[in-house]
Amino acid sequence: MGKIKTGKNNSKKDVIARKAAALFIKKGYTSASMRELAEAVGVEAPSLYNHIGSKSEILQTICFKIANEFTSHLDNTENSPVNALAQLETIIRFHIQMMLNNFDEVYVANHEWKHLKEPFLSNFLFQRRGYEKRLVVLLESGIKSDLFKKINPYVAVLTILSALRGLEFWQQHKKNISNQQLEEDMVNHLIKGLIK
């Protein structure tokens, strides 16, 4: 049938993962078949197994790649010398950038993690829960420093993360607004509602 076309910096496994992410968005992980994925890649289904271990492994790769990017960015931010407000703004902007620049994989990590197999499922949820908790700590510190209103920090984190996640809908609408403007408006909406 064909041959997998690789670019310069991406392996065949990368090509498969990228096509898979797009397919998982369109059909959902379970409904997306290896035969469909193979067709998107330009090859017969069994040929995929020369490059990947299993369908489930593709999902793992996508989910943990994204989870690790968020986690390591948070590591860096926490170590920066600026105050809680500036840290929060940095994090919000990073989420927005990730949604705009790595849409497919972020979407899959957000929507299809449910189909990870153990122990990956537990690991993923543990990592995500840890991320949320660190944000709550950040919010608490901002409240203690009198930077933020005395809102419940869990609620604030939930609100912010959910609003950011919702950028996935932007990809579909494509309104007449630049990414720059989008980012400023969202940061403004989410932050100014917090500042005293």
Partner DNA sequence: ACACAAAACTAACGCTTATTAGTTTTTATA
Partner DNA sequence: TATAAAAACTAATAAGCGTTAGTTTTGTGT
Site pattern 53..92 for a second copy (x: CB under 8 A): ----------------------------------------
134 binding DNA? (CB under 7 A): no
Nearer to DNA, 43 or 156 (CB): 43
- Stretch 160-179 residues interacting with a second copy (CB under 8 A): 160-167, 169-170, 173, 175, 177
Selected binder of DNA within 20, 21, 25, 32 (CB under 7 A)? 32
Q: What is the 3-state secondary structure (H, E, C) of the chain?
A: CCCCCCCCCCCHHHHHHHHHHHHHHHHCCCCCCHHHHHHHHCCCHHHHHHCCCCHHHHHHHHHHHHHHHHHHHHHHHHCCCCCHHHHHHHHHHHHHHHHHHCHHHHHHHHHHHHHCCCCHHHHHHHHHHHHHHHHHHHHHHHHHCCCECCCCHHHHHHHHHHHHHCCHHHHHHCCCCCHHHHHHHHHHHHHHCCEC
127 binding a second copy? (CB under 8 A): no
The residue ranges that bind a second copy (CB under 8 A) are 27-31, 111, 114-115, 149, 151-152, 154-156, 158-167, 169-170, 173, 175, 177, 181-182, 185-186, 188-194
